[in-house]
A and B are shown apart, each in its own frame.
Chain A
């Protein structure tokens, strides 16, 4: 097990990332100035509701954004090297080898016409130049590692023969085959039942200790974040609005959006009469409000009668040690 090494260079550093989609209705600013860092061996939870840009941000890290989307600005440094400068060929060597990804829909992410074994062996063929027979042997080891019983038999199975939980295990086996430094898991358990979700989360948790890899866990479920992540970044309308270690986020959420989000989750056994509600809805990413993007829905803005919120955009600044917040409640009015 490797623990996060403080002081050393982060494994991944994203600075000022902007990914926009140029549609006929206008420019959708899906990711609009995201700064992130992931240390070696750590789990970063990236949380937000649908449309906040969390998935586009992760696809941008892998340079997998397709037309009409485009990374328009920013740096993505993996072990110090900027991925934006890499050619498509170089990126292909990095994907799967240094960074790999698992998705929400495991069954549709696998190729339906090839066996599981064939698809895992392919990873070894591409990244380690191993023969298929050797690759398949290693695939059996990998399947056993992700907890698939009778891996020799499963090797010959086609994706449609697998249950959702099993397919996600196969996806994980495939993603980890080449021993990446970073795994990006985009809602890996959203399509699964709770008891299967618990199995998969435990698997990701144990494998990251065993292999010492870092994980970016993208989810809308704060419960999953609380259980798995070391650090959390909360996204809203294309920006990170709060970032800190998991304990502080839940003990002292600072951004009004984070507070509302935590208050609105039903918790089994909590016996609350009413759930907290965030009024209104997510802004249109083509036509974003001036000032803070959360201002139109923000109760704290109204309560504190802050005029700056709707006029000037706040930066992501440190409000306490290691706790960054994008909110004027914690920052001096510069005017």
Chain B
């Protein structure tokens, strides 16, 4: 990767986003779900960053906040060196031309009564592309995703799931964005179709030099496409590293468990499995200390359930960061001579 490419395009600093929970007879606010709780992240120009975690970990909220689909409560988001959280009106619209979102469900994200050509052209109209150039651009973007020009005159119900996801991608690419957020773009698709879309995305990313944030619950899907991978748990990034580094030496116990939980299509392989106990704690009442301590196989009582770890390099100067008292750098609050990691 050259210097130009490794310049950060998107920078997230201390992002917080919570949603009020209403309850009782008068629908009063009874608490807050902390969906994203202090995330720092850099997405470099031209790279595909994978964001992985289980349902409710805040990965989609983070993706939406980056595009200002939801406004964060706290923190900063910079795009190309510019703070975007204060933008309004035309400035915001111009920005959105550069950043596009691709949704999980290709069935509900298209208007059933609009021809797909018109669906794609709508984005162009909003962004002020003159009428005579729109249809040319629609056909170009259809071609880009492997669809034919006659498809522009058809309605969404005439397409299969895989084709609809291609339409979603075409619609996002029509305005020539630099940054794409893809929220589980293949999880609604069958395996044989999924591989078509993953290959397509990889081609597009390479040819158009796109910067991508690829959100998924499945590490193996992310592996195929992404240069770097971030793992989230209950609103926080717990580990981030280059793809190969993450798969070869996962450091956070959660990443390890996540990796070992993926079923591998090879019956000759016998693996030591880390099976996590219990369910994800409610994001309404996250546990104190390290948020993973309630399910962690190596948690140390008195440390992990009391102090919150921060993201630190796993070795000096490493770009591989993890947030675990027991595994990264200095044990921040731990006097090693007194406390020894014990299995709980």
Interface set of A (CB-CB < 8 Å, partner B): 49-50, 163, 165-166, 193-199, 201-202, 220-227, 246-247, 250-251, 260-272, 274-278, 281
Known: A193-B54, A246-B267, A267-B264. A202 touches B275 (CB 8 A): yes
Interface set of B (CB-CB < 8 Å, partner A): 54-55, 160, 162, 190-196, 198-199, 202, 217-221, 223-224, 244, 247-248, 257-269, 273, 275-276, 279-280
CB-CB under 8 A from A198, the residues of chain B are: 260-261, 263, 273, 275-276
CB-CB under 8 A from A221, the residues of chain B are: 191, 263
CA–CA, A199 and B278, complex, Å? 9
**Contact between A195 and B258 (Cβ–Cβ < 8 Å)?**
yes
8 CB contacts below 8 A, A to B, read A49-B192, A163-B279, A224-B263, A266-B221, A268-B264, A272-B224, A274-B202, A277-B196
CA–CA, A327 and B207, complex, Å? 39
CB-CB under 8 A from B279, the residues of chain A are: 163, 165-166, 196
**Contact between A266 and B224 (Cβ–Cβ < 8 Å)?**
yes
Known: A194-B261, A267-B264. A261 touches B275 (CB 8 A): no
**Contact between B266 and A226 (Cβ–Cβ < 8 Å)?**
yes
CB-CB under 8 A from A196, the residues of chain B are: 279
Q: How far is the CB of B325 from chain A (nearest CB, A)?
A: 21
Q: Which residue of B lies closest to A262 (CB)?
A: B265
CB-CB under 8 A from B280, the residues of chain A are: 163, 193
Which 5 A/B pairs are nearest by Cβ-Cβ distance?
A: A223-B263, A264-B195, A275-B195, A268-B220, A198-B261
Checking A225, A260, A269 against B265 with a beta-carbon cut-off of 8 angstroms, the contacting residue is A225
**Contact between B220 and A267 (Cβ–Cβ < 8 Å)?**
yes
**Contact between B263 and A227 (Cβ–Cβ < 8 Å)?**
yes
Q: Which residue of A lies closest to B282 (CB)?
A: A163
- Can you name 4 extra interface pairs (CB under 8 A) apart from A266-B221, A268-B264? A163-B279, A165-B279, A198-B263, A268-B262
Q: How far is the CB of A199 from chain B (nearest CB, A)?
A: 6
Q: Which residue of A lies closest to B219 (CB)?
A: A268
Known: A193-B54, A266-B221, A268-B247. A223 touches B264 (CB 8 A): yes
CB-CB under 8 A from A220, the residues of chain B are: 190-191
**Contact between B198 and A266 (Cβ–Cβ < 8 Å)?**
yes
**Contact between B54 and A194 (Cβ–Cβ < 8 Å)?**
yes
Known: A247-B268, A250-B266. A193 touches B195 (CB 8 A): no
**Contact between A49 and B54 (Cβ–Cβ < 8 Å)?**
no
Q: Identify the interface centre among A195, A223, A281: most chain B CB within 10 Å of its CB.
A: A195
Q: Identify the interface centre among B263, B275, B276: most chain A CB within 10 Å of its CB.
A: B263
**Contact between B160 and A281 (Cβ–Cβ < 8 Å)?**
yes
CB-CB under 8 A from B55, the residues of chain A are: 193
CA–CA, A197 and B219, complex, Å? 14
CB-CB under 8 A from A264, the residues of chain B are: 191-192, 194-195
CA–CA, A246 and B266, complex, Å? 9
**Contact between B261 and A197 (Cβ–Cβ < 8 Å)?**
yes
CA–CA, A274 and B199, complex, Å? 6
Checking A201, A268, A281 against B223 with a beta-carbon cut-off of 8 angstroms, the contacting residue is A268
**Contact between A269 and B223 (Cβ–Cβ < 8 Å)?**
yes
CB-CB under 8 A from A277, the residues of chain B are: 192, 195-196, 199
**Contact between B267 and A250 (Cβ–Cβ < 8 Å)?**
yes
CB-CB under 8 A from B162, the residues of chain A are: 281
**Contact between B192 and A50 (Cβ–Cβ < 8 Å)?**
no
CA–CA, A195 and B193, complex, Å? 25
CB-CB under 8 A from B244, the residues of chain A are: 271
**Contact between A226 and B195 (Cβ–Cβ < 8 Å)?**
no
Q: Which residue of B lies closest to A263 (CB)?
A: B195
CA–CA, A261 and B191, complex, Å? 7
Q: Which residue of A lies closest to B244 (CB)?
A: A271
**Contact between A49 and B191 (Cβ–Cβ < 8 Å)?**
yes
Q: Identify the interface centre among B192, B218, B266: most chain A CB within 10 Å of its CB.
A: B192
CB-CB under 8 A from B202, the residues of chain A are: 274
Q: How far is the CB of A260 from chain B (nearest CB, A)?
A: 6
Q: How far is the CB of B189 from chain A (nearest CB, A)?
A: 9
Q: How far is the CB of A239 from chain B (nearest CB, A)?
A: 17
Q: Which residue of A lies closest to B162 (CB)?
A: A281
CB-CB under 8 A from A260, the residues of chain B are: 192
CB-CB under 8 A from A268, the residues of chain B are: 219-220, 223, 247, 259, 262, 264
Q: How far is the CB of A282 from chain B (nearest CB, A)?
A: 8
CA–CA, A86 and B184, complex, Å? 45
**Contact between B264 and A261 (Cβ–Cβ < 8 Å)?**
no
CA–CA, A52 and B119, complex, Å? 31
CA–CA, A201 and B271, complex, Å? 15
CB-CB under 8 A from A275, the residues of chain B are: 195, 198-199, 224
CA–CA, A261 and B192, complex, Å? 6
Checking A166, A194, A199 against B218 with a beta-carbon cut-off of 8 angstroms, the contacting residue is A194
